[in-house]
Amino acid sequence: MDVAGYIWLGILAVFQGPELSFLGFSLPATPVMVLCGFLLGIMVGATPGLAGPMAMAISLPILISSFGYNPDALLPVMGFLIGVMKGSTIGGAVPAILFNTPGTPDAYMTTLDGYPMTRRGKARKALRVAHFSSASGDTFSDVVLILCAPFLAVLVEAYLDLPEKTALLILSLAFIAAVIGGSIGKGLIATGLGLLAAYVGTGDDFYPRLSMGTQELAQGFPITTAVLGVLILGEVFKGIEDSLRHATSPGALQEVREEGDQSLRATDIRRILPFIGRSAVIGTAIGALPGVGSTLAATLGYTVGRNRHARRKAPDHKDFGEGAMEGIASTEAANSSVSGANLIPVLSLGIPGNAAAVFLILAAESIGGFNPGPTVFKFTTDSVNPELVVAFGLFTTMFIANALNWTVGGVFMRTMSVMIRIPKHILLPCVLLLTLTAIYVQETRLVAIWFAIGFGVLGYLMRRTGISPLPFVIAFILGGKLEETARQAFAATGGDPFFLFSSPVALLLMALTLVVILTSLRPKKEPASP
């Protein structure tokens, strides 16, 4: 079957898959779930203290329990997660622009020009600029994903054998530890802890490893408890402590006044388009690298846009930091274009690079029938590759989310300013109870709750010591794949203990791993004193 045939099968899988009954009408489940996830994503993105990964974490076990563990559940569940991922990105701009409070970390740069526009009475215009820039960057990133992911997967499958794939996984873990960990030492500690937790109760031996003779540990740590515990419960515990320590209340919010024209005119679009295009390229390039998140993309996009604006600014235009439309456009296009590009290493290599990608991998592993990696993009002529159909179905859901972003996204995001009024001392306990409920729904063992709380304490301690929990989570997910690939490579090379250095490509990848670690160990240069 050719590419066009698989594209058509992917579209049919989305619109002719499982159905939902609503008011006596049967609706295709996947588009409905994309819509629900997208609206929920805008809501959580507009709520300071929440984020897309938190909503994805709580929703995933409930969705799997609702749709079941069968391949037909893949597209509805993953479509919902993709909708949350995209909606939360544009939702974070709402409190950043209206109240100088970024809903997500990558929306911080939006406050620099969004809030000054609000103080000048241009709040709705600032929101329209943010929405247009976000939707444009998101669409560009998705197009690059569809073009690059299959090409990269085919390239990897054609030129990388088992030793090279093992070396690639090691390089990815080292890169993620160096980039996300804050320092290479802390990143490697988080990665090592993740691998250690992944290998509890596993292995090919008759006796489970590291189980200390207990039946509970002999079964290993459920992936849901580890991921949700470290990522979500750890953040909740830290947020509760911060709320108790500072005892802050939201207080009265200043009313947003409006003055003058609030429309986004064609002249405004022509003015911000160069900044959108530049930031979209920056965000897509950064998003394609595992572990490099949207916060860096937003910062870099804003910095590059500011330098260009300073050189070519018209006399009547505002400077960056004083309410310039170009500043909002640079930031929002950059952080939104990361979302699609982040799925390039996920679909082509099976390597998650951010928290949202972690939950897409988790959904695929929990449901079954789809194994992200190079084998997904095998075009077979004698039979249909079901994983490739799912991949094109995912591409279809992303374009559905883009269409929702262009149509209803802007209207819905402008109504979400009310979410800023939810106090954290009410919000965080609700998130805690929902997360524990979601874990129990999927595991149905009380010991899973205790595991999750234990991992939550670990996540809290990691945050308090300045260690990012994301390398831990990614290492936990990739640990099983790393061991399996290494065992196969060891067997395929006839028991060669130096199989990682048996080919030029594997040797190059291991050398790059060493370079990444050594480069990260170099002390940062202190700015010269005047």
What is the pLDDT, as a whole number, of residue 520?
A: 79
DSSP string computed for 37-105 = HHHHHHHHHTSTT--HHHHHHHHHHHHHHHH-SSGGGHHHHHHHHHHHHHHHHHHTHHHHHHHS--SSG
Residue 527 lies in a domain: no
- Cα pseudo-dihedral 382, 150, 398, 347, rounded to 10: 100
pLDDT tens digits, one per residue of 442-479: 787 888 899 999 999 999 999 888 888 888 988 888 88
pLDDT > 70: percent of the chain: 90
Residue 254 lies in a domain: no
DSSP string computed for 308-353 = HHHHH--TTSPPTTSS-HHHHHHHHHHHHHHHHHTHHHHHHH----
What is the pLDDT, as a whole number, of residue 36?
A: 93
What is the pLDDT, as a whole number, of residue 258?
A: 63
Of 526 and 28, more confident: 28
Residue 528 lies in a domain: no
- Residue 438: give the domain boundaries: 3-247+265-521
Residue 25 lies in a domain: yes
Q: Which residues contact 366 (CB under 8 A, 6 or more apart)?
A: 60, 64, 69, 223, 224, 442
Q: Using 50, 70 and 90 to split pLDDT, how confident is the model at 259?
A: low
Residue 530 lies in a domain: no
- Read off the pLDDT of each residue in 411-419 and give the average, rounded to a whole number: 76
pLDDT tens digits, one per residue of 309-353: 887 777 767 777 788 888 888 888 888 888 788 888 888 888 876
Question: Is residue 104's pLDDT more than 70?
Answer: no
Residue 257 lies in a domain: no
What is the pLDDT, as a whole number, of residue 445?
A: 82
If one counts the domains in the chain, the total is 1
Distance CA 279, CA 305 (A): 8
Residue 108 lies in a domain: yes
Distance CA 39, CA 62 (A): 17
Does residue 503 come out as left (phi exceeding 0), alpha (psi in the -120 to 50 range) or beta?
Answer: beta
What is the pLDDT, as a whole number, of residue 527?
A: 42
Residue 297 lies in a domain: yes
**If residue 377 lies in a helix (H) or strand (E), which one and from where to where?**
none
Q: Using 50, 70 and 90 to split pLDDT, how confident is the model at 528?
A: very low
Single out the residue of 409, 355, 358 nearest to residue 42, CA to CA.
409
Q: Using 50, 70 and 90 to split pLDDT, how confident is the model at 251?
A: very low
DSSP reduced 3-state for 23: coil
Q: Which of 185-199, 371-385, 441-455, 496-510 has the lowest mean pLDDT?
A: 371-385
